[in-house]
Amino acid sequence: MIPKVFREVIDLGDGREISIETGKLAKQAHGSVVVQSGKCMLLCTVVSNYKQSDVDFLPLTVDYREKFAAAGRYPGGFFKREARPSDGEVLTMRLVDRVLRPLFPKDYHAETQVMIQLMSHDDDVMPEAMAGLAASAAIQLSDFPFECPISEARVGRVNGEFIINPTRAQLAESDIDMMIGASADSVMMVEGEMDEISEEEMADAIKFAHEAIKIQCAAQVKLAEAFGKKETREYAEEREDQDLAKKIHDMAYDKVYAIAKAGSAKHERSAAFSEIKEEIKATFSEEELADYGDLVSKYYAKAEKAAIRTLTLDEGLRLDGRKTDEIRPIWCEVDYLPSTHGSAIFTRGETQALATVTLGTSRDANKIDMPSYEGEENFYLHYNFPPFCTGEARPLRGTSRREVGHGNLAQRGLKGMIPADCPYTVRVVSEVLESNGSSSMATVCAGTMALMDAGVQMTRPVSGIAMGLISDAETGKYAVLSDILGDEDHLGDMDFKVTGTSEGITACQMDIKVKGLSYEILVNALKQARNGRLHILDKITDTISSPNSDVKEHAPTMVTRRIPNEFIGALIGPGGKVIQEMQKETETTIVINEDPVTEEGIVEILGVGREGINAVIAKIDAILFKPTVGSVYEVKVIKMLDFGAVVEYMDAPGNEVLLHVSELAWERTENVTDVVNMGDVFDVKYFGLDPRTRKEKVSRKALLPKPEGFVERPPRDDKKRDDRRGNDRNRDRKPRRD
């Protein structure tokens, strides 16, 4: 018997719908929903242990997976089974996690899992846009302590019109691709890329998405009410001691304020704050610390945060002595690494990134193989954040989700400035060598300079900046912080990263922690970020003002040629023999792709130095060579025969033609060697196909003066000749015996 199913439908306003359904699948989970749009179906389940974990944070795991069976495909690789998540899946996990996590109580520490699976794929629906909706809807059906429903929406803009959850085809024409996460009351998360848009346009896109999210949140509430809203579970809350909190605040606040106001470097400041904390702890006995030492640390952290926020709001000063809109000192250098195709160092305060650029062919493209999308990236960026960059020693466990996310943000910021006609596949790698404040934005700056150093003809250079916001709802005061420190990252009410050119924004990432942030404050913050970006951009262009006109001597040069489809086989040769020999002889890399529209062959030739590339081009020209009737060509004798000589076109080595003995000279030629010999070079005239032999005909004698008194033999009557041959054959036949 099929259980009762509860369902809510969300109208997207353009004929499309999203449905949320529960009651049929995964009923042992604490909450489960199926979210569907078109043929796309996501199953989301949520489970949270009833016992608190012995940690001081929420052990929340958001897992998003796309099943290949959903698209009727097999996983790639030897073992036909989904394994570790792809970068695309990791990025979706991060988008959902960043919106959900702040809405759990700070003292809720139970192991919690949110699992989202793509069960059915639709080419016209991008499933990651519905992942946040699915996660929140499942939580609303559970008994978790969770503040309010949220949702996420993707917004694009085509021909000036905003679109919610655009198709991939629409997104290809869009100048905005943003994911917005929000509750009905407040925007909480923004991430995306844009084609150099203004701050006001970005705010308008966020507003448009928020209106759609309000409808999605209301649908979740209706579904939960129809299903039967569960009582919120009870859990062991953290201890609180207000008297102790006040005591520690009074002991720490003024001292922290004084150190914060002094303006010091990271390690000096950290040591001073640690000393205050140890002094406070020393006022308690060992028994007291054993009993509530965790509360002492907790209340000290609150006092420290309050003092630093007040200093900034009241005096406009920050931990390192800067004003709110001041950027830390910057120094840059390009061409630092002698063997890379391009390199640059960008250092801002205590944050440093070393970026390298590698140029390759389409064979080096980053292949994306997901059930929801198959394709290639010809520009991609990898970001590495080793532990030494923060002065730590910790285990290396492969690429972290954070590294994937920060690298993706930097890639999105830069990729719009890589011209469409760039012949190379371009890989940028950022090695973060120091970190105290946004290393992802340092990566954007270092990446820009490394690309220009490599000779990639960027449309415009890109810079990036990390910003913060501290606000006080009671007084109405707020301060926007430019180029935030690592210590300031968790102190504020909003932290956001913005990349862009002199013309506009190319990418952004925001996490908004304060409810009801006004769009006026948001736009003001974005405009202050623009001033900071332009200041940093000036430092970049002072170091390298424009892309180098050519690649470095040791870097490969790329030349692209198009050839008719029928010549692709000749260029490859039997079993790849021709192209392999060509690559070996010329020390080049040759890649052949087929244009899906024109079906022409696109030949990429990559090599260091022009000599090898020119040799490949000459070979291609030889293969494509088609002599013109009536034209004269220089040839060389490469083979002697009794009835003529085989000659090779000097302009197209490898193209041979027979020069018949009758076309050597006007006089009768008894021996070919009487006229020409091996290695002789001379001109011939091309006559096209001989109608009699159906073979190509060239002539040497046609370019020689006719001897005086020379009488040509009359042409043979081929018809009489053929008739005579036919009659002879008929005469030779004997009567057939029955």
Residues 75, 371: Cα–Cα separation, whole Å: 9
Q: Which of 608, 577, 579 is nearest to 591 (CA)?
A: 579
Question: Which residues in 87-197 belong to E strands, given as ranges?
Answer: 110-120, 150-158, 161-164, 176-183, 187-197
Amino acid making up residue 689: L
The verdict on whether residue 204 carries a ligand-binding annotation is no
Residues 652, 581: Cα–Cα separation, whole Å: 17
Collapse the DSSP code of 40 into the 3-class scheme (helix H, G, I; strand E, B; otherwise coil) and give the result.
strand
- Placement of tokens 């650029």 in the chain: 357
- Placement of tokens 């939580």 in the chain: 139
Amino acid making up residue 599: E
The verdict on whether residue 489 carries a ligand-binding annotation is yes
Q: Which two tokens stand for residue 60?
A: 């929340």
Residues 441, 202: Cα–Cα separation, whole Å: 19
The torsion angles phi and psi of 676, rounded to 5 degrees, stand at -130, 160
Residues 428, 447: Cα–Cα separation, whole Å: 7
The torsion angles phi and psi of 565, rounded to 5 degrees, stand at -55, -35
Instruction: For the beta carbon of residue 103, count every other beta carbon within 10 angstroms.
Output: 17
Question: Residues of 325-336 as b/e, b for ≥16 C-beta within 10 angstroms?
Answer: bebbebebbbbb
Residues 551, 457: Cα–Cα separation, whole Å: 10
Question: Residues of 713-724 as b/e, b for ≥16 C-beta within 10 angstroms?
Answer: eeeeeeeeeeee
Residues 107, 236: Cα–Cα separation, whole Å: 9
Query: In the chain, count of helices (H) and strands (E)?
Result: 15, 29
- Binding-site residue ranges for Mg(2+): 489, 495
**Residue ranges at the known binding site:** 489, 495
